[in-house]
């Protein structure tokens, strides 16, 4: 089996969640009358990139997620729609180690449990903080 095939098998659950997020985003945009061109303009990206996000081919960056979330709030999106959007975003970002056969440490289990108890806006803040912290650690290592 080729390296690429093995990588695709390992990444499959993650990619499925990304696709699911993209499909849900597309549904939300249609439901609340937001056009992909509006999203692209607000985010400073191309409409084609928005299409890639909606197709699950490109990830939704945390800052883009926040902007889209705020747009949905402005359109008075239902709380249940927003909750699902947040959960799918989180699931698309976090590839839980058990999916690839690794065990979770106690601290990781605690973190996941506590994270799931947070309200959506705090979950987004945690994701942004962790990504910022990870980036800072990478820079320190260089």
Domains of the chain: 3-141 (1.10.260.40)
Check residue 13 and give its pLDDT: 63
Percent pLDDT > 90 in the chain is 41
Would you say the pTM of this structure is higher than 0.75?
Answer: no
Confidence at residue 100, expressed as pLDDT on a 0 to 100 scale: 45
Burial 9-20 (b: 16+ CB within 10 A, else e): eeeeebeebbbe
Interhelix angle 3-31/79-93, rounded to 10 degrees, is 160
> How many angstroms from the chain centroid is the CA of residue 9?
20
Mean pLDDT computed over 20-34: 96
């Amino acid at each position: 089996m080729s390296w690429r095939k093995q990588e695709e098998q390992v990444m499959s659950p993650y990619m499925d969640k990304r696709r699911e997020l993209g499909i849900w985003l597309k549904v939300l945009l249609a439901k609340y009358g937001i056009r992909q061109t509006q999203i692209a303009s607000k985010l400073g990206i191309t409409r084609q990139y928005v299409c890639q996000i909606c197709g699950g081919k490109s990830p939704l960056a945390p800052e883009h997620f926040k902007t889209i979330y705020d747009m949905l709030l402005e359109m008075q999106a239902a709380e249940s729609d927003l909750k699902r959007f947040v959960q799918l975003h989180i699931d698309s970002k976090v590839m839980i180690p058990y999916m690839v056969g690794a065990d979770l440490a106690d601290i990781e289990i605690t973190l996941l449990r506590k994270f799931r108890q947070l309200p959506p806006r705090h979950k987004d803040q945690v994701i942004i903080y962790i990504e910022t912290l990870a980036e800072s650690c990478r820079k320190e290592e260089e």
